[in-house]
Amino acid sequence: MIATDGFDIEPQIADAFIINARERYDFVITANRTVDNFYIRAKTLEINRNTTAEAILQYHGDDQNVQPTSVPRHCTADDRCVVGTSNIDCRGGTDRANSWCNNATLSNPTLANGNVPGMELLKPVRKDTIIVPSGGYVITRIKADNPGVWFLHCHIELHANDGMAMLFNESFPHHLSPPTGFLIAIVILTTYHHHLKQQPLHQ
């Protein structure tokens, strides 16, 4: 793996990785195996479901009519496919997997203010999209050098529409003014729509 979300990372060797909506990963495949066909599998991590997408990586010279024999990775207690976290207290919500978890707090207060043991502060991964496990949390560091109101939202559209989103205000006093004529244009548009609604349908 060499990059994520358009930013280089310290190269890592991996045979599988977790990706969610909007994330991007760049990787280099070292094709140094015996000539064969290999499955590339994408498998959802849903509970009680097993949705799989498959592609075939074919080495030049291999028989195109032979199915690959490579086997999928199986998740076990020792080889977990998901990184979970249980540090969030939903304060009276239903169970964490089904709660909106508004007004959440850390169940372990010693983790507050970024005091998380082992956190990488010198060379953290730079990303614009992050997986937040159900009931989990993410610590980010933002360089606040672009004043505006930024939309932090889930990239699953249904979730965003449900309200899984927030505004991050980076310095109201330094917001740019709206373009010249911006409000006038809205008034004209509103009047125009109103005008359309007033027209008889059979005109």
Report the interface residues with Cu ion, using CB under 5 A: 154, 156, 159, 164
Q: Residue type for 78, please?
A: D
Nearest distance in Å: CB 165, Cu ion: 9
Rounded to the nearest whole angstrom, what is the least distance from the CB of residue 136 to Cu ion in the complex? 12
CA angle (46, 52, 56) in 5-degree steps: 150
Residue 152 CB, nearest approach to Cu ion (Å)? 12
Which residue has its beta carbon closest to Cu ion?
159
Nearer to Cu ion, 124 or 163 (CB): 163
Nearer to Cu ion, 41 or 155 (CB): 155
CA angle 175, 180, 185 (to 5 degrees): 110
Whole-number Å distance between alpha carbons of 110 and 114: 9
**Cα–Cα separations (whole angstroms), residue 17 to 12, 26, 30, 70, 148:** 11, 11, 16, 17, 34
Decide whether 161 or 190 has the Cβ nearer to Cu ion.
161
Lookup result for tokens 């007033």: 198
Closest approach of Cβ 164 to Cu ion, in Å? Answer: 5
- Cβ nearer to Cu ion, comparing 130 with 164: 164
Q: How many CB atoms lie within 10 A of CB 132?
A: 13
Question: Residue 129: which of 5, 27, 17 has the closest Cα?
Answer: 5
Q: Nearer to Cu ion by C-beta: 26 or 162?
A: 162
Structure tokens at 143: 């360089």
What is the 8-class DSSP label of residue 127?
A: -
- Specify whether the CB–CB gap between 90 and 138 falls below 8 A: no
Compute the least distance from the CB of residue 116 to Cu ion, in Å.
23
Nearer to Cu ion, 31 or 97 (CB): 97
Q: Residue holding tokens 């409000």?
A: 183
Residue 139 Cβ, how far from Cu ion at the closest point, in Å?
A: 18
